[in-house]
Amino acid sequence: MKNEKIFASAKQLGLVSCHDCHLLSRWPKPAHRQIALCPRCGGPLHQRKVHSIARTWALLLAAIILYIPANVLPMTVTTTLGSAQADTIMSGVSYFIHSGSWEIALVIFTASIFVPLMKFIILIYLLLSVQFKSVKRPKDRTVLYRITEAVGRWSMVDVYVVTILVALVKLGVLANIEAGPAAIYFASVVVITMIAAESFDPRLIWDVMEVDA
């Protein structure tokens, strides 16, 4: 701890960054905080994202609820010579494994099952750590947030695969593939978790460090 450097944060120095143009401005005096605007773009200034924890929790719970029908309902409906077969995400992964295309199965499992679940777990962990004012490993938690924010969009791989199959397999009576109802739910889960990650303010992780300093 003796060799650890102590840096003053923008909040401690009375500075605030604009969410729109990222200009670093002087935080106004208490009497004028109701009309705190960015001097460059005129956008409202906030030291932290407004209602960050509550909004992230709401979006995260909504994504978890939608994740259930996204996995239970069929993702694709394949019609071959008059017979229809509905496949969920997991049954699609199982099909590719048994057909020898384990690489495709791995990509779909990672993007559609592993990544969303990990995002849920990491966001819940970050929210609880902030609410319980944890001071443990703030750098590691910040890295976790960056990873969560970066990989979220790759969960759309499954939706892209379904879209390509629907576009390519149009053989009329012989064979036809259509997107199932799970596609809408899964796409909603991906979009909502991306918004949830964006709503979380990682600076809250470090605020408790300033209090304990």
Provide the CA 72 distance to its chain's centre, in angstroms: 21
Residue 2, pLDDT > 50, answer no
Q: Place 173 in a pLDDT band, splitting at 50, 70 and 90.
A: low
Q: How confident is the model at residue 206 (pLDDT cuts 50, 70, 90)?
A: confident
Task: Using the predicted structure, report yes or no on whether residue 171 has a pLDDT greater than 60.
Answer: no
What's the pLDDT band for 169 if we cut at 50, 70, 90?
Answer: low
pLDDT of residue 183: 86
**Alpha-carbon gap, residue 157 to 16, rounded angstroms:** 37
CB of 180 closer than 8 Å to CB of 74: yes
Which CATH number among 1.10.287, 3.30.1330, 1.20.272, 1.20.140 corresponds to the domain 49-212? Answer: 1.20.140
Backbone dihedral region for residue 41 (phi beyond 0: left; psi -120 to 50: alpha; all else: beta):
alpha
Query: Which of left, alpha, beta for 162 (phi over 0: left; psi -120 to 50: alpha)?
Result: alpha
Straight-line distance from the first to the last Cα atom of the chain, in angstroms, rounded to the nearest whole number: 12
Residue 3: pLDDT above 50? Answer: no
What does the pLDDT read at residue 165?
64
Structure tokens at 78: 């394949």
Beta strands in 65-197 (DSSP E): 76-80, 83-87, 175-179
CA-CA-CA-CA torsion sign (87, 118, 161, 156): positive
Q: Can you give the pLDDT at residue 208?
A: 77
Average pLDDT, the chain: 80
Query: How many secondary structure helices (H) and strands (E) does the chain include?
Result: 8, 5
Mean pLDDT for 142-154 is: 84
Q: Per residue in 10-68, pLDDT tens?
A: 666 777 878 778 777 777 765 455 667 888 887 777 778 888 999 999 999 999 999 99
List where CATH 1.20.140 sits in the chain. Answer: 49-212
Q: Is residue 60 within 8 Å of 127, Cβ to Cβ?
A: yes
Q: Is the pLDDT of residue 182 over 90?
A: no
The confidence score (pLDDT) of residue 53 equals 93
pTM: 0.78
Q: Which of 40, 42, 46, 44 is nearest to 16 (CA)?
A: 46
Residues in Cβ contact with 80 at an 8 Å cutoff, skipping those fewer than 6 apart: 174, 175, 176
Query: Is it the case that residue 93 has pLDDT exceeding 80?
Result: yes
Q: CA triplet 78, 90, 156: central angle to 5 degrees?
A: 85
Of residues 210 and 201, more confidently modeled: 201
